């Protein structure tokens, strides 16, 4: 069992990841070597948008795997975050891709060049 301080550190790390990466997928495995079918489908849909995105392998980060569902109020993985907001899991990602909503969302969130401060 983690103590409160460790939990706070994990929460801070998660928030930092979400804030620093405009497009972030929490998944099992990596986009090139996913460890579950849902993570595979979600990362394929994102890769098909042709924009870079960040990912966190929750299997390598059990503390994040334990705490992110509490922060997100979303129990399962993968989880797609765009510009600090939870978009959803595999079903939502695939539905958005099929309806042509995913690509413009990702394109708008992940510009080619970083914005000037």
Query: Was 13 annotated as part of a binding site?
Result: no
Query: Was 91 annotated as part of a binding site?
Result: yes
Q: Kindly give the pairing relationship between strand 79-82 and strand 23-27.
A: antiparallel
Query: Was 57 annotated as part of a binding site?
Result: no
Query: Was 49 annotated as part of a binding site?
Result: no
Q: How far apart, in whole angstroms, are the C-alpha atoms of residue 64 and residue 111?
A: 27
Please spell the DSSP secondary structure of 13-57, one letter per residue: HHHHHHHH-SEEEEESEETTEESSHHHHHHHHHHHTTTS--EEEE
Q: Rg of the Cα trace of the chain?
A: 14
Binding site membership: which residues?
A: 28, 36, 65, 77, 90-91
Binding site membership for [2Fe-2S] cluster: which residues?
A: 36
Binding site membership for glutathione: which residues?
A: 28, 65, 77, 90-91
């Amino acid at each position: 069992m983690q103590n409160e301080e460790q939990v706070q550190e994990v929460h801070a790390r998660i928030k930092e990841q979400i804030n620093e990466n405009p497009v972030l997928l929490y998944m099992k495995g990596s986009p090139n070597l996913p460890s579950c079918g849902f993570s595979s489908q979600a990362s394929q849909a994102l890769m098909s948008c042709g924009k870079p995105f960040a990912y966190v392998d929750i299997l390598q980060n059990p503390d994040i795997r334990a705490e992110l569902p509490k922060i997100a109020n979303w129990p399962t993985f993968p989880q797609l975050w765009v510009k600090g907001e939870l978009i959803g899991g595999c079903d939502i990602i695939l539905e958005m891709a099929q309806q042509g909503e995913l690509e413009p969302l990702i394109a708008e969130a992940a510009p080619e060049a970083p914005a000037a401060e």
